[in-house]
Amino acid sequence: MNSVEAIRARHSVRNYRPEKIEEEKVALLKEKIRELNRRGNLNMQFIEDAGKTFNKLLNKFMGLGSAPSVIACVGKDIDNLDQRVGYFGEQLVLYAQSIGLNTCWAGTFNKENIGAEVLDDERLVIAIAIGYGADQGRPHKSKTADQVSEAAGERPDWFERGVEMALLAPTAINQQKFLIKLNADESVEFIDKGGVLSQIDLGIVKYHFEVGREGGGSL
């Protein structure tokens, strides 16, 4: 499964089967986390037992309380941390999809119960529920390309492909509050239009756009 295939296959999953992730896949996840942490200057952590991470009423209502494991997205609180978490965390989410696992970005969770190591100069940004879904989730309702992008002149194929993948990016409460702008010199701007967790969303959108622009690739 390449990155485009993973994007098309992956949907947020909120209800999970009870079985734990096998040791072999845990090892693969940890190896991928080490790589992404190095590239993104992050401290993402795989926590095998989600415990009471998702014990808040909203999480229980959504079904996330059934998630067996969790990824804590942590990093030094500098240099656009939220965007980096979105950009590199989404690569981990798509890698998990490629090895048969399901995920859900979770902005609401019990930070005291997650069991992550957070140093004095770090911040716990968000959690990602992970495990085997009770189903594969469903596609989200989406805006159109014209609603999230604009171009100064013609829209080249690479730009259209990037926007197409960006529209498949998960965003908080499916808000899709971003704008992708193609300038006359063919540089691309990503504009945050505000909203809850919008900087994380923008990081995810940037990665999806790059995948589309480049036509996919290995995870």
Which residue in the block uniquely carries the two structure tokens 């415990």? Answer: 51
pLDDT for res 60: 64
Which residues are paired to 70 by β-bridges?
Answer: 47, 129
Q: What is the pTM of this model?
A: 0.95
Cβ atoms of 163 and 208 within 8 Å: the answer is no
Tokens matching residue 109: 């969770």
Q: What is the pLDDT of residues 148-187, one digit of tens each?
A: 999 999 999 999 999 999 999 999 989 999 999 999 999 9
pLDDT for res 61: 62
pLDDT for res 71: 98
Is the pLDDT at 50 greater than 70? The verdict is yes
Nearest to 47 by CA among 97, 111, 137, 107: 111
Percent of the chain with pLDDT over 70: 97
pLDDT for res 218: 79
Which residue in the block uniquely carries the two structure tokens 């926007």? Answer: 163
pLDDT for res 217: 76
Tokens matching residue 47: 């926590």
CA distance 73 to 104: 13
CA distance 164 to 215: 11
* Dihedral angle of Cα 97, 168, 59, 46, to the nearest 10 degrees: 40
Listed in sequence order, the residues at least 6 apart from 23 whose beta carbon sits closer than 8 Å to its beta carbon are none
Can you list the alpha helix ranges (DSSP code H) found in 77-144? Answer: 81-98
pLDDT for res 57: 65
Q: What is the pLDDT of residues 85-144, one digit of tens each?
A: 999 999 999 999 999 999 999 998 999 999 999 999 999 999 999 999 999 999 888 999
pLDDT band at residue 208 under the 50/70/90 scheme: very high
Cβ atoms of 180 and 147 within 8 Å: the answer is no
Whole-angstrom CA distances from 35 to 39, 155, 161, 166, 204 are 6, 34, 27, 24, 18
pLDDT for res 215: 86
Whole-angstrom CA distances from 99 to 39, 59, 199 are 21, 25, 27
Amino acid at residue number 189: E
Domains of the chain: 3-131 (3.40.109.10), 145-214 (3.40.109.30)
CA distance 105 to 146: 26
pLDDT for res 216: 80
Tokens matching residue 43: 């401290």
pLDDT for res 58: 64
Cβ neighbours around 212 below 10 Å, total:
23
Nearest to 62 by CA among 4, 107, 114, 6: 107
User: pLDDT averaged over the chain?
Assistant: 94
pLDDT band at residue 64 under the 50/70/90 scheme: confident
